Chains A and B, each alone.
Chain A
């Protein structure tokens, strides 16, 4: 178990270093001179008046150094929690990032709870009532749920609950009420996917011989369903939930933009649009770290839930 953990960790560090190179390279991928960009952002979009100011800034920020030195310098800062300063607000990127991270995490956790609760229970219901009208209805609703993009759901919610019924605030972050529409529109696709997977896995497990054996032993149906069937269908679901958690973080990008939710998604889009490179780098880095962590946890959980998997088999 520990050996596997360290191997996974090593792989994660490797992935992370590839990520940092990509993130750093963004500085050069952006068209134009970084120094000019910084000045432009500081002066509300006006181009710097003379070359001298640009050169001065270059010297000040040591932007003329060769890229690998700049990279090492930057990576050293990252390791010490220093992600540089936002070109636009000139506040430390780490501070801005931690505020946004908190907002996004709130949203994602609530959405995840919705996904797990409704996904699992509707999936169990569909499997239990296999081929009934409810099952058929749910299966078509699931396809619809996957096909509707988050911003469309969001729009319909706003139209009905905020504009039509005046029940919920249109946008912003002000308590639990303001969280209902964003998390509902964020989690719809996940609920649909998890429901389908749960149904499929449970049905497959129900046809296994051990269910027959358990029944022959005289165990109650409820006990068989929960302790045997459900437990055995968990491993693929856990992997899926890991993916879904990641999916919620990336889905949050669009949903946050609609509801003016001050999270990482909105920060990323704003920073990309204004060319605020340190903030873009910070966002991409944190999203990458989140995804890498999720992956490690899912792999380890997988082994914990299904001891039949040999650690060697995973890698």
Chain B
């Protein structure tokens, strides 16, 4: 085994190490989110004013917040809610981006120019500003937040899909499918799409991490979920008001967000390392 081969092997393991670590983190996080009703000892919204900012007891494993709500229960349900919102938004963004990118890349012409113009506009403008203004306009709440965040942030997916589709549609198998008389819609769905979505894989995992930050950020500034909803950003916002006496009310939910986002970033990064042909460490090189 030459020195270069050793290098490639080492790089691959390093890539996998990131993926392994990330998957481990996300696996545990997802398990906690799914089992939330079993893990949480209390109703996350149950207020107990006699027990405000209590410290750790057997009844309240992480103590309570300034309204006497069980911190652990809020954390577990908050994690679940933040993840659900982020996943819903991501699904909407990817669907919208893929559809528009596919149409623009495959059809070309006027529809391509029109879609590209919209993509340009969307790319120029920061997601968070548009989302913030939309939530502010429509009013806080989960449906409005999902809607506002889904309208923005899809253009990067659309752009990637468009450029991949443009190169895929020139391939021989598309030509032969067309020669066989297969309909354009069928070609788009069954031939072009499956061959164009692989660049999205690392983007989607990285996107989930970014979305967790956006969701909690919007709630943090009061333009996300409604006040009182157990959500990680909202918990941090509430923790700030009990500042500076009880920093753990901010630090604990913050740590949960950071761990989640790090997990997604590690996976996305690892996958990108493996997929990136420029680094010459794909599995084929063995």
Interface residues of A (CB under 8 A from B): 11, 14-15, 18-19, 26, 29-31, 131, 143-144, 146-152, 155-156, 158-159, 163, 204, 246-247, 249-250, 253-254, 257-258, 268-269, 272-273, 280, 284, 287-288, 291-292, 295
Complex A-B: 12 CB contacts under 8 Å = A14-B117, A147-B213, A147-B261, A149-B257, A155-B254, A159-B244, A204-B278, A268-B129, A273-B136, A287-B129, A288-B125, A291-B125
Given A144-B262, A149-B254, A258-B240, 10 additional A-B pairs, CB 8 A: A147-B213, A149-B216, A149-B261, A250-B129, A254-B217, A257-B221, A269-B223, A273-B136, A284-B129, A291-B125
B132 close to chain A: CB less than 8 A? yes
Q: A26-B133, A273-B223 are in contact. Are A155 and B250 (CB under 8 A)?
A: yes
* CA distance in complex: A151, B132 (Å): 16
* CA distance in complex: A27, B67 (Å): 37
Q: How many positions in chain B have a CB within 8 Å of any CB in the partner chain?
A: 41
Is the Cβ of B136 less than 8 Å from the Cβ of A272?
Answer: yes
* CA distance in complex: A143, B250 (Å): 21
* Nearest CB of A to B106, in Å: 21
Q: Residue among A29, A147, A272, A291 with the most chain B CB within 10 A?
A: A147
Closest to B216 in A: A149
Is the Cβ of B240 less than 8 Å from the Cβ of A155?
Answer: yes
* Other-chain residue from A26, A148, A246, A268 in contact with B258 (beta carbon distance below 8 A): A148
Give the chain A neighbours of B128 by CB distance below 8 A. 250, 253
* CA distance in complex: A292, B244 (Å): 40
Give the chain A neighbours of B139 by CB distance below 8 A. 31
Main secondary structure of the interface of B (DSSP, over half): helix
Q: A273-B136, A291-B125 are in contact. Are A253 and B221 (CB under 8 A)?
A: yes
Is the Cβ of B213 less than 8 Å from the Cβ of A149?
Answer: yes
* CA distance in complex: A141, B223 (Å): 30
Interface positions of B from 123 to 142, Cβ below 8 Å from A: 124-129, 132-134, 136-139
* CA distance in complex: A167, B206 (Å): 37
7 closest Cβ pairs, A-B complex: A272-B136, A250-B126, A147-B261, A152-B254, A147-B262, A29-B137, A163-B244
Main secondary structure of the interface of A (DSSP, over half): helix
Closest to A264 in B: B129
Give the chain A neighbours of B243 by CB distance below 8 A. 155, 158
* Nearest CB of A to B7, in Å: 9
Give the chain A neighbours of B68 by CB distance below 8 A. none
Closest to A203 in B: B279
Is the Cβ of A152 less than 8 Å from the Cβ of B258?
Answer: yes
Give the chain A neighbours of B124 by CB distance below 8 A. 15, 288, 291-292, 295
Give the chain B neighbours of A268 by CB distance below 8 A. 129, 132-133
Is the Cβ of A284 less than 8 Å from the Cβ of B217?
Answer: no
* CA distance in complex: A310, B131 (Å): 36
* Nearest CB of A to B275, in Å: 14
* Nearest CB of A to B128, in Å: 5
Give the chain B neighbours of A14 by CB distance below 8 A. 117
Give the chain B neighbours of A149 by CB distance below 8 A. 213, 216-217, 254, 257-258, 261
B283 close to chain A: CB less than 8 A? no
* CA distance in complex: A284, B128 (Å): 11
Is the Cβ of A19 less than 8 Å from the Cβ of B220?
Answer: no
Over the window 124-162 of chain B, the binary record of Cβ atoms lying under 8 Å from chain A Cβ atoms (1 yes, 0 no) is 111111001110111100000000000000000000000
Give the chain B neighbours of A284 by CB distance below 8 A. 129, 133
* CA distance in complex: A156, B236 (Å): 12
Is the Cβ of B258 less than 8 Å from the Cβ of A144?
Answer: yes
